[in-house]
């Protein structure tokens, strides 16, 4: 089991550690998941996300080459800009979802922890002469999230507050030069901070000493992203689910769609672009179970007359709503908000209502 550079700090803070993606990670601290979740919604939480993969790509033809693998606009990606995207399969599924940002002429991909080694191997297999691919195991990653994240970070990182949503820059944070993006996966305003692993314990301690900042673990990160209607790779998206089925067509810009100046050219493009034009057979939805019983991943969904209607992919309790929430895939014909379906939980059929995503409105900085 691997450990992040903040392992000793997690133990000092009283974290409950659990295995996750090959790492020993904090699921929560003594305050508990619900308290940490609500603290992020009202103030600011600091997450250790150093298990994520940070891959740098450089070379003269890097932008055009990346567009053969990602269905987004890399050629037009300006320095200091970031996009959400995904590596797609030949059948149009999602190999992995990621963030990509540009600083000078270097591109950084932040990929999922469980996929990072496979992603690097895939990139190396597809590489052309002159492309340099580096998995930055020397770097750690922190996520500072919540409505107080910006003023807290600005107090030790002058200039951070000037970043707009999905912008990136190199900024000194408490005396350490870091790569910062104004982004995150909680639905709240916030930042992801990449720095050398040798200095991250000191940096994390400095951030935790700021007013309104408290540690938060994987449990709160999961409930926050579920309330925000954000996909978890391996649950809500994967190689057998297309970006269009997942409701992620917004991440494929016009220049890469049919009729665009650089249309297609990425794995699975024919399938994905056809779904954009004609619509997918199934789609991701939100559901609100009646009552207080949660509906978990893999619970089957049925129509009121007992016909198969799909499967839940993520589910649990939404602390901000004091109610259970879930996401699922159903045939497009069953996806309209307000429709009643039934979830099978412990051999019982529980009524659930189809609803729009997200469950809690996003509050990204505009």
Short-list 244, 247, 288, CA closest to 268: 244
Task: Return phi, psi of residue 249, to 5°.
Answer: -60, -25
Q: Taking all residues of the chain, what is their mean pLDDT, rounded to a whole number?
A: 97
2-53+138-227: which CATH topology? Gyrase A; domain 2 (3.30.1360)
How many residues would you count in the chain? 366
pTM for the complete prediction? 0.97
Per domain, the residue ranges of the chain are 2-53+138-227, 281-366
- 5 sits in which H/E element: none
Tell me: pLDDT of 363 over 90: yes
Given this model, what pLDDT does residue 366 score? 85
288: burial class by Cβ within 10 Å (0-12, 13-18, 19+)?
middle
Number of other CB atoms surrounding residue 4 within 10 Å: 21
Mean pLDDT, rounded, for 114-120: 98
Given this model, what pLDDT does residue 268 score? 98
C-alpha 30/C-alpha 26 separation (Å) is 11
Mean pLDDT, rounded, for 151-180: 97
Among the residues of 99-197, which ranges form H helices?
116-126, 149-154
281-366: which CATH topology? Elongation Factor Tu (Ef-tu); domain 3 (2.40.30)
| Tokens standing for residue 133 | 């691919």
Task: Kindly report, residue by residue over 49-83, the tens digit of the pLDDT.
Answer: 999 999 999 999 999 999 999 999 999 999 999 99
């Amino acid at each position: 089991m691997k450990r992040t550079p903040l392992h000793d700090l997690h133990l000092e803070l009283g974290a409950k550690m659990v295995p996750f993606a090959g790492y020993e990670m904090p699921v929560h601290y003594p305050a508990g998941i619900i308290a940490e979740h609500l603290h992020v919604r009202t103030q600011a939480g600091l997450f250790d996300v150093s298990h994520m993969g940070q891959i740098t790509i450089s070379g003269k033809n890097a932008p055009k080459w990346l567009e053969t693998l990602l269905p987004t606009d890399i050629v037009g990606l300006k320095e200091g800009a970031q996009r959400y995207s995904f590596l797609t399969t030949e059948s149009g599924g999602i190999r992995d979802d990621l963030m990509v940002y540009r600083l000078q002429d270097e591109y950084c991909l932040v990929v999922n922890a469980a996929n990072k080694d496979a992603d690097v191997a895939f990139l190396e297999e597809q590489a052309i002469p002159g492309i340099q691919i580096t998995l930055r195991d020397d770097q750690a990653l922190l996520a500072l999230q919540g409505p107080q994240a910006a003023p807290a970070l600005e107090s030790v990182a002058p200039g951070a507050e000037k970043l707009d949503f999905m912008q990136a820059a190199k900024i000194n944070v408490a005396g350490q030069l870091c790569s910062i993006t104004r982004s995150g996966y909680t639905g709240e305003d916030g930042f992801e901070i990449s720095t050398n692993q040798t200095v991250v314990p000191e940096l994390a301690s400095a951030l935790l000493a700021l007013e309104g900042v408290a540690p938060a673990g994987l449990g709160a990160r999961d409930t926050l992203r579920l309330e925000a209607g954000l996909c978890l790779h391996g649950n809500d998206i994967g190689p057998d689910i297309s970006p269009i089925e997942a409701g992620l067509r917004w991440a494929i810009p016009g220049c890469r769609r049919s009729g665009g100046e650089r249309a297609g050219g990425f794995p699975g493009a024919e399938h994905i672009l056809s779904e954009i034009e004609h619509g997918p057979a199934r789609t991701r939805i939100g559901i609100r179970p009646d009552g207080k019983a949660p509906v978990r991943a893999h619970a089957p969904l049925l129509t009121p007359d007992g016909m198969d209607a799909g499967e839940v992919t993520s589910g649990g309790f939404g602390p901000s709503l004091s109610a259970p929430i879930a996401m699922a895939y159903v045939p497009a014909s069953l996806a309209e908000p307000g429709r009643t379906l039934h979830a099978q939980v412990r051999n019982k059929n529980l009524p659930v209502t189809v609803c729009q995503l997200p469950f809690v409105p996003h509050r990204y900085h505009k």
